[in-house]
């Protein structure tokens, strides 16, 4: 009987088992949000913060701390080194993966990628890094092909955004021309031709739009010049005039 | 909506520790106990959303959900037999966690180990009667048994536990 009493006393001490405070708070805020999410309501800011805080529990174990620290330190070093890599370098694939993961897939993103590839190519040319030249050129050509496709899709589906994109396009073409001047050669003839076709379609679309609008006499003059530039296949000049009319 | 949240918070605050403890003593793992406890209160919240927020006996209700959640957990895991080897690993795991968290002494681990070896119904009765210190009528409300049956069950459960602690 005394033994039974002792056992019961010990059992009552199991009351000391309590959940972690962080979990109690997290569950309290996340459960209503989880239930509401199922019926189509968005989680609140408190839930989002609570969710982030909940990850702190993984830091309670030393093994996790070392793993996380190792990941942060080596990952950080790897990330930093890969960011300075150029096409043709061993770590370039890491940079490429990170870029793909952090850059969207819309037309604005394709321009950003092309600008980066152009910057890479400029570094290669200016630094006279011969071993990287072929890879850098190939990467740039691929990005230009993407820009051409993106531009055509933009003219077709979102013409209002196409004019804005054309500014980035002209910058890209200017940058390319500068590098070609340094190299003394044309980069990616096929891709350049594709880009030119896409630009032509963009200019046509913008000119057709302007012809339907009522313009001031000053704008009429600019439009005539733009049409002349278009007929002379000087699409860059045509675009510059279109911008002036649109502003 | 506000009324639902208010009522849920009230029940949650009152029973979260008990439900967690009840589940932890049966599953012996902190992470699993947390996940299953969350599931209990999620089911409670859904019930409150669908029905009248006021539950006649919230304690009996949440314990009943907890029993169902644990049963679902074991069913999904298809655990039918716990081998001696597995039990040893679990005990070691419990001891490790206990040392880490400083929650209870090693003596308490022996008791927890013994509870874990009991059959499900006896585990419930021991936890309710002697850990959470529920009254016999309260246990009768949870289980749906008569008070007499509960008394007999509790007596048998404590005898069974003595046998496991002595081993």
**What are the residue ranges spanned by the domains of chain A?**
103-246
A125 and A118 Cβ atoms separated by less than 8 Å:
no
> What is the H or E stretch that residue A155 is in?
helix A130-157
Yes or no, beta carbons of B103 and A18 under 8 Å apart: yes
* pLDDT tens string B83-115: 334 444 444 555 555 455 554 567 778 888 888
* Binary contact (A16, B165; C-beta < 8 A): no
- Which residues of chain A make contact with B46, given a CB cutoff of 8 A? 35
Interface contact A8-B158, CB threshold 8 A: yes
CB contact under 8 A, A35 and B162: no
- pLDDT value of position A110: 79
Mean pLDDT of B2-7: 83
pLDDT at A81 over 80: no
List domains and CATH numbers for chain B: 1-80 (1.10.1740)
Look at residue A186 in the predicted model and tell me its pLDDT: 78
Q: Which positions in chain B touch A8 (Cβ < 8 Å)?
A: 130, 158
B113 in Cβ contact with B167 (< 8 Å): no
Comparing B91 with B77, the larger pLDDT belongs to: B77
Cβ pair B135, B89 in contact under 8 A: no
Do B33 and B73 form a contact (C-beta atoms < 8 A)? Answer: no
Is the ipTM higher than 0.85? The answer is: no
3-state secondary structure chain B: CHHHHHHHHHHHHHHHHHHHHHHHHHHCCHHHHHHHHHHHHHHHHHHHHHCCCCCCCHHHHHHHHHHHHHHHHHHHHCCCCCCHHHHHHHHHHHHHHHHHHCCCCHHHHHHHHHHHHCCHHHHHHHHHHHHCCCCHHHHHHHHCCCHHHHHHHHHHHHHHHHHHHHC
* A52/chain B closest Cα distance in angstroms: 17
Tokens of B25: 């003593």
Residue B127 has pLDDT above 60, yes or no: yes
Residue B12 has pLDDT above 60, yes or no: yes
Phi, then psi, of A70 in degrees rounded to 5:
-60, -45
A71 min Cα distance to partner chain B (Å): 24
Find the mean pLDDT for residues B156-163.
90
Which of A81-85, A110-114, A116-120, B126-130 has the least mean pLDDT? A81-85
Instruction: Give percent of chain A above pLDDT 90.
Output: 0
Structure tokens at A122: 């400029």
Q: Which chain B residue has the Cα nearest residue A58?
A: B31
Q: Do B165 and A17 touch (CB under 8 A)?
A: no
Cβ atoms B5, B41 nearer than 8 A? no
Average pLDDT for chain A = 78
Q: Which residues of B touch A3 (CB under 8 A)?
A: 162
Residue A40 has pLDDT above 60, yes or no: no
The share of chain B scoring above pLDDT 90, in percent, equals: 42
Contact A34 B42 (CB under 8 A): yes
pLDDT over 70 at B24, yes or no: yes
Predicted pLDDT at B87: 43
Using pLDDT thresholds of 50, 70 and 90, give the confidence band for residue B79: very low
The average pLDDT across B42-70 equals 88
- Structural contact between residues A92 and A85, judged by C-beta atoms closer than 8 angstroms: yes
What is the token pair recorded at B69?
A: 């959640």
For chain B positions 15-34, those within 8 Å of chain A (CB to CB) are: 16-17, 20-21, 24-25, 30, 33-34
Q: What is the pLDDT of residue B42?
A: 93
Q: Answer yes or no: do A23 and B45 touch at CB < 8 A.
A: no
Place of tokens 């003596």: B107
The rounded mean pLDDT for chain B is 81
CB pairs under 8 A between A and B: 85
The string of DSSP codes covering A187-234 is S-HHHHHHHHHHHHHHHHHHHHHHHHS---HHHHHHHHHHHHHHHTT-
State whether residue A5 sits within 8 Å of chain B by CB. Answer: no
Calculate how close chain A gets to B37, using CA atoms only, in Å.
Answer: 9
Subunit contact B131:A23, Cβ cutoff 8 A: no
């Amino acid at each position: 009987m005394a033994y039974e009493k002792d056992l019961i006393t010990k059992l009552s001490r199991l009351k000391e088992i309590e959940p972690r405070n962080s979990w109690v708070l997290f569950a309290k805020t996340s459960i209503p949000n989880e239930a509401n999410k199922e019926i189509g309501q968005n989680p609140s800011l408190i839930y989002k913060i609570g969710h982030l805080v909940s990850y702190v529990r993984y830091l309670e174990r030393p093994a996790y701390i070392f793993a996380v620290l190792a990941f942060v330190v080596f990952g950080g070093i790897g990330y930093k080194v890969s960011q300075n890599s150029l096409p043709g370098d061993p770590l370039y694939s890491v940079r490429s993966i990170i870029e793909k993961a952090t850059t969207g897939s819309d037309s604005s993103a394709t321009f950003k990628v092309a600008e980066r590839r152009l910057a890479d190519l400029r570094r290669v040319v200016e630094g006279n890094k011969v071993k990287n030249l072929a890879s850098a050129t190939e990467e740039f050509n691929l990005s230009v092909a993407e820009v051409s496709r993106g531009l055509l899709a933009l003219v077709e589906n979102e013409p209002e955004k196409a004019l804005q994109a054309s500014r980035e396009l002209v910058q890209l073409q200017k940058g390319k021309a500068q590098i070609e001047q340094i190299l003394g050669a044309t980069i990616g003839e096929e891709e350049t031709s594709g880009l030119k076709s896409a630009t032509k379609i963009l200019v046509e679309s913008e000119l057709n739009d302007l012809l339907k609008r009522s313009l001031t006499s000053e704008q009429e003059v600019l439009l005539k010049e733009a049409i002349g530039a278009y007929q002379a296949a000087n699409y860059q000049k045509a675009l510059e005039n279109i911008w002036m009319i649109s502003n | 909506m506000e009324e639902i949240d208010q009522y849920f918070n009230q029940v949650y605050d009152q029973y979260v520790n008990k439900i967690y403890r009840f589940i932890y003593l049966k599953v012996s793992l902190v992470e699993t106990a947390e996940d299953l406890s969350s599931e209990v209160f999620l089911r409670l919240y859904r019930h409150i959303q669908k029905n009248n927020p006021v539950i006649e006996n919230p304690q009996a209700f949440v314990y009943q959900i907890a029993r169902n959640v644990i049963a679902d957990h074991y069913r999904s895991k298809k655990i039918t037999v716990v081998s001696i080897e597995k039990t040893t690993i679990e005990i070691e795991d419990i001891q490790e966690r206990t040392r880490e968290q400083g929650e209870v002494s090693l003596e308490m681990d022996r008791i927890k180990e013994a509870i874990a070896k009991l059959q499900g119904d006896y585990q419930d009765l021991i936890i309710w009667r002697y850990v959470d210190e529920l009254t016999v009528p309260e246990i009768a409300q949870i289980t749906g048994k008569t008070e007499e049956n509960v008394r007999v069950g509790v007596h048998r459960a404590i005898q069974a536990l003595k046998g496991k602690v002595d081993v």
